[in-house]
Structure 1
């Protein structure tokens, strides 16, 4: 019986350690609604909503960019998804890792959203392409999921547009994130033109 207790305690400790390693402090897609159209990915000339408009032709894919802390999940595997709501159903689209980005405190104009205040940040850049066959004419909504998974377990955080409920927090970039998968009313939207 003592062996079983030790195994359970070891499993709980390992799970708690992976939760402690989950980094949301440097995750970013857009603080609010319009930033995704105006702000560009650090060191790139690409807006976080690469279509650069909230009105997108039906035949065009929607391209989103997200930055995260390098290895945001710690030891577990990590992935980025978008939960895309087309007005009738949800679709989960996986993002791809693109590159590493370095953001430094000096010179001051090299900072991103005023960060870091000192030193250097080593970030990962991710790209998500929502194919045109998934989008539907009218309002489409989305939230970004950061996901860690290991040994059959997973943990997620969601980047959202606005605070709602007790599960939401704001990180140092001004990005709101939530530990809850209930993101209705917190997500971003784009209008797909017929």
Structure 2
């Protein structure tokens, strides 16, 4: 009886030694996956903040620069595209378009001194600049979380547990291919 008890204890210890690392690895992968989701949520929060500011900014500019309809339309379309984007890649592409359109919209203020002097416009432009900084930080935090997660699921022996439980690689928030190009702002565009 004493020997059976020792054998049962030994078997249970061996099982615990073999199974415990799987539980610990699984739990660390879940935590890393949640960190990525949380970081992405912060990116989306900041993108939403920017989208909420845009209609007020566009309306303020409309009052001073009604004939700048083309850029106002571009901003509105880019905002709608970002709102409809689903994947990280789609959001990154839509974000690039919106950032370019917003840059052009803000640059319009240079042609309208009375717009630059408008307190509402200045406040909205400052809030937008702050939001752009928050978006950049949130994207960086998201990409760092993705890097940690992707590295973790590729390391041995964690890769075994990751494959066993279906943990898959996450996408980085990448700038669009043309993000390295400086946007052209031409106020003498004859197509208006």
Both proteins in one fold, TM over 0.5: no
The structure whose RCO (Cα within 8 Å, separation 6+) is larger is 2
Which structure has the highest helix share of the two?
2
Q: Which TM-score applies when normalising by structure 1?
A: 0.29
Q: Which TM-score applies when normalising by structure 2?
A: 0.29
Structure of greater Rg: 2
